Amino acid sequence: MAEIQQLADDGPDYVLEKQVGHLLRRAHQRHSAIFQDQIGGSQVTPLQFAALIKLADLGEVSQNQLGRLIAMDAATMQGVIKRLAARGLIHRRPDPDDRRRLILSLAPDGRRLADGALAAAAEITRLTLSPLSADEQRAFLSLLERLAE
């Protein structure tokens, strides 16, 4: 009896809203929106921010090296670096020891921007994780880290 009802109107067994891929995309979407809200004014995107922060930490690296460190495709890197250099936030100079490489470094404006954005970073993380309790946040980050290759 109940079985017949269920067979007749079961709905799809594949529920998009429960799929990891969809949820990862939405969570990332939500984080980007929060980032935009908090940092948007200073005109820097999440990827550009990552590049600036990493550069501030390392001092000098080649373009591809930096790309690997922030998990960015060489082709994508091209565009990101070009835009940052066009705005005078980073410097590019050829590596004398390896003429294939471009050595990147932070320009003063880039350092200022990175410092400013860094101040907002804690709040961005806080807001992103705010639906979870402190314990849940730790658990989530630990699991997520293992899914991020």
Partner DNA sequence: ACGCGATTATTCGTATGCGAACAAATTTAG
Partner DNA sequence: CTAAATTTGTTCGCATACGAATAATCGCGT
Binding site for its own copies (CB under 8 A): 11-12, 14, 16, 18-32, 35, 46, 50, 53-54, 56-57, 70-71, 118, 121, 124-125, 128-129, 131-132, 136, 139-141, 143-149
| Contacts (CB under 7 A) with DNA, residues 15-34 | 25, 29, 32-33
| Contacts (CB under 7 A) with DNA, residues 64-123 | 64-65, 67, 71-81, 83, 95, 97-102
Strand order in the sheet with 61-62: 61-62, 98-106, 90-95
In one-letter notation, the amino acid at residue 128 is T
Quick one: what does residue 107 bind among its own copies, DNA, none, with the CB cut-off 5 to 8 Å set by partner type?
none
Q: What count of Cα atoms within 13 Å lies in the side-chain half-sphere of residue 98?
A: 8
Q: Using CB under 7 A, which of 35, 38, 39, 48 touches DNA? A: 48
Q: Do the beta carbons of residue 55 and residue 61 sit within 8 Å?
A: yes
How far is residue 49's CA from residue 17's CA, in Å, rounded to a whole number?
30
**What's the closest the beta carbon of residue 60 comes to its own copies, in angstroms?**
16
**What's the closest the beta carbon of residue 90 comes to DNA, in angstroms?**
12
Query: Which residue, 29 or 130, has its beta carbon nearer to DNA?
Result: 29
Q: Do the beta carbons of residue 74 and residue 81 sit within 8 Å?
A: no
In one-letter notation, the amino acid at residue 143 is L
How far is residue 146's CA from residue 107's CA, in Å, rounded to a whole number?
34
Q: Using CB under 7 A, which of 34, 56, 58, 62 touches DNA? A: 62
To the nearest 10 degrees (0 to 180), the angle between helices 20-39 and 46-58 is 70
Q: Which positions touch DNA (CB under 7 A)? A: 25, 29, 32-33, 36, 45-48, 62-65, 67, 71-81, 83, 95, 97-102
